[in-house]
C-alpha cells in the first residue's frame, strides 16, 4: 500500500485530500479547477442521486433538461443575479477552430465569432425563466415543479476536490407558483427534503436556518440553508433553497392570468445540492484509517474476506452468504484476490470505508462462527454463522444510527453560546471552533466586521430558535435572538 | 385541443416536429441549436437511461465523470480526431464578465483571457485518455471499463429536435485493454448491447454493420453501427461503437507493462448513444394521431378514464385496479379531470402515446366489464373486469412485440436488392426509398460519387451478409458482397 494517510491532527486539509485520492474518489484534471470523479466516488454520488431523485418525485417533481449555455444578455436581466455570477463564469466566444496558416497547429477561427457570447451556466434561473414564459399563461399551468440534473461552471480561483470545483454536478429545482405563499412553502419543503436526506442517508446532522441578506442567493428574497459541522469545527453549507418571489418572473416577463382572470407575475423558488455533498460526507465520518461511509450510501456495504486465502469450501460458504444478503438488497462483495494477505485486504477495505467486513476462515467454519468487523467503531467480534444474515442486516442499521449519533454528539460538544466578544474570539480561535450562538444587531456592517476580525460568518438565523432579547456580541445593540456563527468552507 | 398534426403523407418533417411539440417532448430554446427537453420527453429518456445503465453494469462497466472542457492542445493530439471535430466546436476564451464603462451593460472582460482556449467536449476521448495515463501502469490495471453520462456540444448548422442538436445528452463508454482482440471484442459486445436495447426496448429493428472508411469515427480503426429505418424510408444511425486500436494511447502516451514485463501501448474502444434515440423512437412507431410508444419505454403505460366523468364508485374501482397494476410494476395514471369530456381525453392520451387506455363507465361496472383500447392498433374491446389486471399485463407484452413486428415488416417491405445503377436510382427516388443492398467496389471515390448522384450513403457493410461475388453498381468493378445504402438522417 502507498504511504499512510496524514492524520487529522497533523494537517486536516491534507488528511482530506489523502482520503479523496487514496480511496480513489476523485482527482484533479488537466483543466484548471475541474475534477475527475473516479468510479468509486461516482458510485457514492449515484446512490445520493438515486435517493434524492426518489424524494423529489415523491414530492411531486419531474425532471427536464435546459441548455448548457446562457446568452450573455439573459444573465444581465436580473440585476443582483448578474452581480453574483458575472465575475466567475466561462464565456464561449467562438464556434470553430482551424489550422494555423503557418502550420503551428490549431487556432480559434477569428471568422467564427458568435454575435452574442454564451455563458456556460453557473445556475439556470435565467434560461429556465425565459422558457417558462412560453409554458405559463394561466393559473391552470401552475404549479410547475421541475428539477434538472446537470453540470454547472463557476470559475472559482481556489478549488478543492468535491468542496469547491470550477465544474460541478448538481441538481437544480425551479418551480413556478400562483401565490407568494406557495413559493415560500415550496422553498421550505425542499429545505426539509434536504435536511431529511442529510440526516437519514448521509447520517450528517444539520442546522436549518435562513441566510442573512449578505449571504443570500443572488436574486432571492430569502435563502434557506442546511448547515453541517465538519470534524475540524468548520461549517459546510450543504444545500440551499430560495424563495425568489417575483424577481425572475419580472426580469423575464412571465405572467399568468389568475382565477379572477387578472394578470399577475408568477412566484418562484429554486433549490440545489451538489457533488459538494460527497465532500461533506467524507469530512463528517472519516478517520485516520480512511473513509467511513454510512451504510445507506456505501457502494459496497459488506465485504467478505476469506482467511487466509480463498479455497473451495470458503468460497462456497461466502457465495451462500452473499446470495442471502443480496436477496435483502444489501450490496456485498467477495474479496477473493489470492495474491494479497488478509492484513493488506483489511487495510484496503478500511480505506474504502466499507461498513462491515466478514472474515471467514476454515477454523471459523468448523466452529460455525464468522468474524464481524465494524468500520465505524473498529471493533471485531466472533458471531455464530447461523443467523448471520439477520445479524448483518440489523448491524447496518445500527451503524447508520451510530454514525448519526456520533456526529450529533460531536456537534453538541462543539456548539458554544457566547455573550461577549472576548468569549467569541476565544472560541473561534480554538483548534476546533464549531458553531457559536451569539446575538447580532441585524446589520450587514456588523456581520462583515465580525468576519474581518475573526473569519467567522453567520451561517444562518436558525428557524427553530426561540426569541430571546439580548445585545449584539460586537456592538451591544439590541438583538431579538441568537444567530449561528462559524468559520466555513 | 390545438390544431391537428400534419399527416405524414403531407409533410413528414412537419409531422415529426408537430409530434415533438404537441406531445410536449421538447422545444427549441433561446440558444441556437440547443433544445429544452420537456418533462414528458425527459421521462422517456430517463427510462432509456435506466435500462441502458443496467445493461452496461451487467456487462461489467462502472460510471465516472470527466471534465466538460478540453484544452485545445489535447484535441490536436490525434490528427484524424481534430480534423473531425474542430470545425464545429464551442470555444471558451474568457472566464469573467464585467460592467461596461459606458454603462451599456455587461461585457466580456478582456483581461480575463484564458492562456489556452478550452473546447466544450464534442466527445471525451482526449480528456479521458490524458487521464488514463495516470491510471494505467500494469496489465493488472486492465481492462478499464468506464462509462460516462454527459452533455456534449457539436456546433451543427442545421439542427432538428432530438435528431441533431448543438448540445445533446448521451453516454460515452471508454475502455482500455491489454490486447487488440479484447478491444475489438468490447466494441462488438457494446454494439450488441445497443442492438438488444433497440430491438427489445425500443421495439426498433436494426441492422448491424461496419462503417466504411469514409463514415468512420474520427480516430477509430473501425466503427460498428446499428442502423434503423424510419417511416419515410430514411436510415437513422442509432448507436456506434469504435475499435480505437492504439491511436489514443499513442497520442497520449498511455503504456502498460504486460505479463512479460514489456511496455506496450494500451488498446481502446469507445461507444455511445444519445438523445437522438428519442427521435428514432418517435419516427419508428408514431402515426398521424400522435406519439406511439412501446410499453417498456412509456412513462405512462396505462391510463384509466372514467366515463363520462369521475364519481365515487368509478374512482374507487379505478384506484383498486391501479393499485393492482402498480403492484406489478406497471406505470398507470387516472385521468380524473372533471372539466374535460372523454373524447377530448382520448385524443390527448393518444397524442401522448399511452399504450393502453381503460375506459370505465357506470354501465360497465354494472355489467362487470371495462373497455380496453390499444394505442398501437387503434382497436377497442369490452373485456371482463375480472382478470383485467392479468389481461392488461399480457397485453402490454403483446403491444411491445406487435410494434417490433410491424416495424420489422415495414423494413422488409422497404428493403431492395439492386444490381444496376438504373434500379438503384429508381428505388432511391421513391417516396419511401428504404434500404438498398447493392455491390460496391470498396473505394471512397465511388461511395462519394454515388452520394453526389443520389444523396444515398453507405449505412454499413452488414456483419451477417454472406460473401457474394458481384460487380459494383456504379463502376462495374468486382465486389465481394453487398453493402447497405440509404438516404439518412
CATH architecture of A415-486: 2-Layer Sandwich (3.30)
Q: What is the mean pLDDT of residues B69-88?
A: 89
Q: How far apart are CA B448 and CA B371, in angstroms?
A: 55
Yes or no, beta carbons of B39 and A62 under 8 Å apart: yes
Q: Which residue has the cell 461498513?
A: A355
Chain A contacts of B63, Cβ < 8 Å?
A: 39, 42-43, 46
pLDDT band at A3; cut points 50, 70, 90: low
Yes or no, beta carbons of B106 and A86 under 8 Å apart: yes
Chain B contacts of A146, Cβ < 8 Å?
A: 39
A27 touches chain B (CB under 8 A): yes
ipTM over 0.85: yes
Yes or no, beta carbons of B42 and A36 under 8 Å apart: no
Please list the residues that pair with A145 across neighbouring strands.
A175
**Which of A43, A62, A106 minimises the CB distance to B76?**
A106
B74 touches chain A (CB under 8 A): yes
Residue ranges of domains in chain B: 12-70+126-285, 300-395, 415-486
Q: What is the mean pLDDT of residues A40-63?
A: 98
Yes or no, beta carbons of B29 and A67 under 8 Å apart: yes
Q: What is the mean pLDDT of residues B318-341?
A: 96
pLDDT at B2: 52
Q: A125-153 burial, b if ≥16 CB within 10 A, otherwise e?
A: bbbbbbbbeebbeebeebbbbbbbbbbbb
Yes or no, beta carbons of B66 and A36 under 8 Å apart: yes
For B296-363, the DSSP string reads: GG-S-SEEEEEESS--HHHHHHHHHHHHHHHHTT--EEE---SSS-HHHHHHHHHHTT-SEEEEEEHH
Q: How far apart are CA B435 and CA B428, in angstroms?
A: 9
**Which of B63, B67, B97 minimises the CB distance to A34?**
B67
pLDDT band at B73; cut points 50, 70, 90: very high
Give chain A's mean pLDDT. 96
Instruction: Give the CATH fold of the B12-70+126-285 domain.
Output: BirA Bifunctional Protein; domain 2 (3.30.930)
Backbone CA torsion sign across B109, B111, B117, B123: negative
Closest approach of chain B CAs to the CA of A439, in angstroms? 37
Interface test with B, best of A64, A146, A159 (most B CBs within 10 A): A64
Nearest chain A Cα to B88, which residue? Answer: A96
For A214-226, the DSSP string reads: GGS-TT-SEEEEE
A254 touches chain B (CB under 8 A): no
Instruction: Give the CATH fold of the B300-395 domain.
Output: Rossmann fold (3.40.50)
Q: What percent of chain B has pLDDT over 90?
A: 93
Q: What is the mean pLDDT of residues B454-463?
A: 97
**Which of B30, B71, B87 minimises the CB distance to A71?**
B30
pLDDT band at B3; cut points 50, 70, 90: low
Yes or no, beta carbons of A167 and B105 under 8 Å apart: no
Whether omega for the bond prior to residue B308 falls within 30 degrees of 0, making it cis, is yes
* C-beta separation of B82 from A107 below 8 A: no
pLDDT at B1: 45
A63 touches chain B (CB under 8 A): yes
Q: pLDDT tens across B250-279, in order?
A: 999 999 999 999 999 999 999 999 999 999
pLDDT at B84: 87
Chain B contacts of A159, Cβ < 8 Å?
A: none
**Which of A42, A66, A92 minimises the CB distance to B120?**
A92
Q: Is the pLDDT of residue A1 over 60?
A: no
Chain B contacts of A153, Cβ < 8 Å?
A: 68
A281 touches chain B (CB under 8 A): no
- Cα first-last separation, chain A: 31
Q: Could you tell me if residue A393 is left (phi over 0), alpha (psi between -120 and 50 degrees) or otherwise beta?
A: alpha
**Which of B73, B92, B105 minimises the CB distance to A76?**
B105
**Which of A43, A65, A96 minimises the CB distance to B37?**
A65
Which CATH superfamily includes the segment(s) A300-393? Anticodon-binding domain (3.40.50.800)
Q: What is the mean pLDDT of residues B82-109?
A: 91
Please list the residues that pair with A437 across neighbouring strands.
A417, A484
Q: What is the mean pLDDT of residues A158-169?
A: 96
Out of 3.10.110.10, 3.10.450.50, 3.30.930.10, 1.10.3720.10, the CATH code matching A12-285 is: 3.30.930.10
Amino acid at each position: 500500500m502507498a504511504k499512510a494517510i496524514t492524520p487529522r491532527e497533523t494537517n486536516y486539509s491534507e488528511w482530506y485530500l489523502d482520503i479523496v485520492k487514496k480511496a480513489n474518489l476523485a482527482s484533479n484534471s488537466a483543466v484548471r479547477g475541474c475534477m475527475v470523479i473516479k468510479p468509486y466516488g461516482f458510485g457514492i454520488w449515484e446512490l445520493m442521486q438515486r435517493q434524492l431523485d426518489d424524494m423529489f418525485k415523491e414530492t411531486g417533481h419531474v425532471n427536464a433538461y435546459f441548455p448548457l449555455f446562457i446568452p450573455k444578455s439573459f444573465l444581465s436581466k436580473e440585476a443582483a443575479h448578474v452581480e453574483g455570477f458575472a465575475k466567475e463564469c466561462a464565456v464561449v466566444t467562438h464556434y470553430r477552430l482551424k489550422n494555423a496558416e503557418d502550420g503551428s497547429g490549431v487556432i480559434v477561427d477569428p471568422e467564427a465569432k458568435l454575435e452574442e457570447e454564451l455563458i456556460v451556466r453557473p445556475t439556470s434561473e435565467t434560461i429556465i425563466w425565459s422558457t417558462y414564459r412560453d409554458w405559463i399563461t394561466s393559473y391552470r399551468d401552475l404549479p410547475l415543479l421541475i428539477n434538472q440534473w446537470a453540470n454547472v461552471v463557476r470559475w472559482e480561483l481556489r478549488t478543492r476536490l468535491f468542496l469547491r470545483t470550477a465544474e460541478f454536478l448538481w441538481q437544480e429545482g425551479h418551480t413556478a407558483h400562483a401565490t407568494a405563499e406557495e413559493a415560500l412553502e415550496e422553498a421550505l419543503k425542499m429545505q426539509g427534503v434536504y435536511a431529511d436526506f442529510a440526516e437519514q442517508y448521509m447520517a450528517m446532522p444539520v442546522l436549518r436556518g435562513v441566510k442573512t441578506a449578505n449571504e443570500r442567493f443572488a436574486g432571492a428574497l430569502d435563502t434557506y440553508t442546511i448547515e453541517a459541522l465538519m470534524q475540524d469545527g468548520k461549517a459546510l453549507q450543504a444545500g440551499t433553497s430560495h424563495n425568489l418571489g417575483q424577481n425572475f418572473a419580472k426580469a423575464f416577463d412571465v405572467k399568468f392570468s389568475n382565477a379572477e382572470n387578472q394578470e399577475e407575475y408568477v412566484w418562484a423558488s429554486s433549490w440545489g445540492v451538489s457533488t459538494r455533498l460527497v465532500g461533506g460526507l467524507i469530512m463528517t465520518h472519516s478517520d485516520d484509517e480512511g473513509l467511513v461511509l454510512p451504510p445507506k450510501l456505501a457502494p459496497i456495504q459488506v465485504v467478505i474476506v476469506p482467511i487466509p486465502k480463498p479455497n473451495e469450501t470458503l468460497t462456497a460458504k461466502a457465495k451462500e452468504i452473499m446470495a442471502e444478503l443480496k436477496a435483502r438488497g444489501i450490496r456485498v462483495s467477495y474479496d477473493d484476490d489470492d495474491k494479497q494477505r488478509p492484513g493488506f485486504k483489511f487495510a484496503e477495505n478500511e480505506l474504502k470505508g466499507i461498513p462491515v467486513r466478514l472474515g471467514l476462515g476454515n477454523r471459523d467454519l468448523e466452529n460455525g462462527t464468522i468474524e464481524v468487523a465494524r468500520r465505524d467503531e473498529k471493533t471485531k467480534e466472533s458471531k455464530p454463522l447461523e443467523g448471520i444474515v439477520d445479524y448483518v442486516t440489523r448491524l447496518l442499521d445500527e451503524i447508520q444510527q451510530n454514525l448519526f449519533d456520533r456526529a450529533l454528539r460531536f456537534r453538541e460538544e462543539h456548539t458554544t453560546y457566547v455573550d461577549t466578544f472576548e468569549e467569541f474570539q476565544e472560541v473561534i480561535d480554538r483548534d476546533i471552533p464549531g458553531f457559536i450562538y451569539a446575538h447580532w444587531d441585524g446589520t450587514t456592517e456588523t456581520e462583515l466586521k465580525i468576519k474581518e476580525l475573526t473569519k467567522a460568518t453567520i451561517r444562518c438565523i436558525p428557524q427553530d430558535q426561540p426569541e430571546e432579547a439580548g445585545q449584539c456580541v460586537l456592538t451591544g445593540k439590541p438583538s431579538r435572538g441568537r444567530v449561528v456563527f462559524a468559520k466555513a468552507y
